[in-house]
Structure 1
Amino acid sequence: MTLPSYAMNQASFPQMYERWLVGPLFRPWAEMALDELELSSGDRLLDIACGTGIVARVARERLGEAGYIVGVDISPDMLAVARAVESAIDWRQGNAGELPLRNGETFDVVVCQQGLQFFPDRPAAAAQMRRALAKGGRLAIAMWRPDDEIPFFRELRRVAERHL
């Protein structure tokens, strides 16, 4: 059995991710993480490896216009979907190991949901998270084990490398 050609089209992956994975899988985790972080009116939140932006969007729902939210992802295609779904968030393309922060920019809340395990340089990413965190700020990281340790992800990577 072969996957339909649209499934192998890299440009369509972010739309499929948003449509089929965000609601049932990633939104509940985003809600739980933000519950634990106890957001306050006016919080500045940074969502690292934001993908199509579910953590940032749930934060926007909770903070409204009082909060400032930045989503960072390395993939321009994921960010294009994020921008199409919610334009009121500051979406930035960048690497978690070299966050695209403005001079001295810090955040009350830094979140990295299901990204850390994919970063090639985790210590650099952790240092960047620390740099982005304001004094007294709160950090939440949710992750699976490294993708090479999970059979499903090993196979997914093999298929992606072969077909994309």
Structure 2
Amino acid sequence: MVNESPSSTADGRSTGAAYQNHLERSRTVWNRWSDYYAMSERDLEPMREAAMDDLALERGDRVLDIGCGPGVNLERLRDDVGETGTVVAVDYSPEMVAKARDRIERHGWKNVEVHLDDATTIDLEGRFDAAIATLSMSVMPDVRAAVENVHRLLVPGSPFVVFDIGGVPEGPARLANPFLRRFLRWYANWNPDGDVPGSLSAVFEESEIVDTYLVGTCYTVIARKHSPDRS
């Protein structure tokens, strides 16, 4: 399968047919699953919590949540940065964004905001002290471009923590990969041409898989943007 490189408009937004088709299918898929995401929220909570531990957030930090879904990470992130910090989240599904905003309104958080936009191209005011993506980077239509955009939005020295899913990396269980890929494509519009760990390693100055789960199909990567004075 050939992965068509997206063309761009003058403002940097991708316009390639394959890119746009993937993006619109993601919107449809995640709108459909928005009412059932609680299953993922509950079952994967320990893995998501461990990923947020890796951010090592401090009071007053600005943190970016990429592909936030219905806002499952927002309470923990907001607790970590406190009332003086800021949490900014992005998702492309209107139904997911609506649920995330409902969550914000119910809690009365004044320093948490959610944008309905494409994380690959969104341009946000200011820069961030950390970013996280849980089960979202592998469904991006252009994984490398999304990683590059997050890198641009971070201040030097900041981490980008990614918890995601892929095929079985090694061993006899790899025989299940064709079925797994088809399932993930149907269930989540997973991008079979995307390479999340490879893109993180190519763009960020540091990148390391720090945790794996379920025979390696789920993993957490910590990538870090170097400070300018670091050799």
TM-score, scaled to structure 2:
0.57
Q: Distance in 1 between matches of 2:67 and 2:30?
A: 18
Aligned partner (choices 120, 127, 135) of residue 97 of structure 1: 120
**Superposition pairs of residues 83-122 of structure 1, within 5 angstroms:** 83-87=101-105, 88=109, 89-102=112-125, 105-122=126-143
**Where does residue 30 of structure 1 map in the other structure?**
48
Superposition deviation, residue 113 in structure 1:
1.1
- Residue by residue over 1:17-76, the C-alpha shift from the partner in whole angstroms, topping out at 9 and shown as x without a partner, is 1x3221222x32221111112111111000011111122221112222122000100111
* Cα 1:151/1:38, change in 2 over 3 Å: same
**Where does residue 126 of structure 1 map in the other structure?**
147
Aligned residue for 1:86, secondary structure, equals helix
The reply on whether 1:65 has 2:83 as its aligned counterpart is yes
TM-score, scaled to structure 1:
0.78
Runs of at least 5 residues in structure 2 that lack an aligned partner in the other structure: 1-28, 168-176, 190-231
Amino acid at match of 1:63: V
The reply on whether 1:15 has 2:31 as its aligned counterpart is no
Amino acid at match of 1:49: G
Aligned residue for 2:148, secondary structure, equals helix
CA RMSD of aligned residues (A): 2.4
Amino acid at match of 2:124: L
The reply on whether 1:41 has 2:41 as its aligned counterpart is no
Is residue 128–residue 153 contact of structure 2 (8 Å, CA) maintained in 1?
yes
Identical amino acids, percent of aligned pairs: 29
Deviating more after overlay: 44-53 vs 144-153: 144-153
Is residue 50–residue 71 contact of structure 1 (8 Å, CA) maintained in 2?
yes
Q: Distance in 2 between matches of 1:83 and 1:58?
A: 15
Is residue 30–residue 96 contact of structure 2 (8 Å, CA) maintained in 1?
no
Amino acid at match of 1:156: Y
Amino acid at match of 1:138: P
Amino acid at match of 1:51: G
Q: Distance in 1 between matches of 2:146 and 2:53?
A: 24
Q: How many residues align?
A: 146
Q: Distance in 2 between matches of 1:67 and 1:140?
A: 18
Is residue 30–residue 54 contact of structure 1 (8 Å, CA) maintained in 2?
no
Higher RCO, Cα 8 Å, sep 6+: 1
Aligned residue for 2:141, secondary structure, equals coil
**Where does residue 56 of structure 1 map in the other structure?**
74
Q: Distance in 2 between matches of 1:130 and 1:62?
A: 22
Task: Select the structure of larger CA radius of gyration.
Answer: 2
* Cα 1:125/1:62, change in 2 over 3 Å: same
Superposition deviation, residue 119 in structure 1:
0.8
Aligned residue for 1:134, secondary structure, equals coil
- Residue by residue over 1:91-144, the C-alpha shift from the partner in whole angstroms, topping out at 9 and shown as x without a partner, is 101112102412xx1100011111111111111101101111111111111111
**Where does residue 162 of structure 1 map in the other structure?**
none
Runs of at least 5 residues in structure 1 that lack an aligned partner in the other structure: 1-8, 159-164
